């Protein structure tokens, strides 16, 4: 009798353990990003929706009202439940793997991008206020996300005639710690430029076309514009 009781007890424990594992797995798989969410996955959602014309705001990693509306619009167009929540099905339709997107970017390619962006900031904005250095990095990132420009950091930076630092060799100047930090902040999504695609120094620029661009703001000696 005692032996039967032990076997029955063991079977019950196995059954409830299995239920717990299954429940935990369901919780883990029920990934959802909604109004108020923040982070790298939200940036990726915003970036893709902006690239495809659904989202008009800044890629700041904050799931606000504009992101919510953009997600709803995308869901309607793709036959998904239009609730404005980026759950598993919506993320899959966007081509986003949350586990991979949220992981730390420590690959060799990521390090090279960071170093190149830091060198560009160093060459273009050495001596500018720190926020102005990050803003230059923000312009690079805005161009990467804009379909009118190359979609990689090296592609944007080395686009012919795009940046003076490439032409005059300042990109190879001794790199300062602030440039490295500013590059990391820009890669993390900080954009003090306000979404600018261009910037210039009025005291040095003779290009008439750049003077015609709508101005967003001025930081230090640079004017940032659309």
Q: What is the tens place of the pLDDT at every residue in 169-203?
A: 999 999 999 999 999 999 988 999 999 999 999 99
Distance of CA 131 to the CA centre of its chain: 18
Domain with CATH 1.10.10.2520 in the chain: 108-225
Q: Identify the architecture of domain 108-225 in CATH.
A: Orthogonal Bundle (1.10)
Report the distance separating Cα 135 and Cα 121, nearest Å.
9
Q: What is the tens place of the pLDDT at every residue in 56-111?
A: 999 999 999 999 999 999 999 888 899 999 999 899 888 887 765 544 444 556 78
Instruction: Please tell me whether residue 223 adopts helix, strand or coil conformation.
Output: strand
CATH topology of domain 32-102: Muramoyl-pentapeptide Carboxypeptidase; domain 1 (1.10.101)
Residue 93 burial (C-beta neighbours within 10 Å; 0-12, 13-18, 19+): middle
Q: For residues 90 and 75, is the Cβ–Cβ distance under 8 A?
A: yes
The model carries a pTM of: 0.55
Query: What pLDDT, on the 0 to 100 scale, is given for residue 15?
Result: 44
Domain with CATH 1.10.101.10 in the chain: 32-102
Residues 6+ apart with CB under 8 A from 19: none
Q: For residues 135 and 192, is the Cβ–Cβ distance under 8 A?
A: yes
Place of tokens 């598993």: 88
At 167, list the tokens: 């032409």
């Amino acid at each position: 009798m005692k032996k039967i009781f032990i076997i029955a007890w063991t079977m019950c424990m196995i059954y409830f353990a299995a239920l717990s594992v299954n429940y935990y797995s369901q919780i883990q798989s029920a990934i959802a990003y909604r109004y108020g969410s923040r982070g790298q996955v939200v940036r990726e959602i915003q970036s893709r929706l902006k690239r495809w014309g659904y989202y008009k705001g800044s890629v700041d990693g904050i799931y606000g009202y504009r992101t919510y509306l953009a997600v709803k619009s995308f869901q309607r167009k793709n036959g998904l439940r239009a609730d404005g929540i980026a759950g598993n099905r919506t993320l899959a339709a966007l081509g986003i793997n949350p586990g991979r997107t949220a992981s730390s970017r420590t690959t060799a390619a990521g390090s090279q991008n960071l170093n190149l962006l830091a060198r560009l900031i160093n060459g273009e904005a050495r001596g500018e206020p720190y926020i102005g250095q990050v803003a230059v990095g923000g312009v690079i990132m805005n161009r990467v996300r804009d379909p009118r420009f190359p979609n990689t950091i090296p592609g944007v930076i080395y686009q012919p005639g795009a940046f003076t630092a490439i032409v005059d060799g300042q990109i190879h100047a001794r790199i300062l710690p602030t440039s490295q930090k500013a590059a990391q902040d820009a890669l993390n999504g900080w954009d003090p430029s306000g979404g600018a695609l261009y910037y210039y120094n009025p005291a040095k620029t003779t290009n008439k076309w750049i003077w015609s661009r709508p101005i967003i703001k001025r930081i230090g000696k640079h004017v940032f514009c659309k």
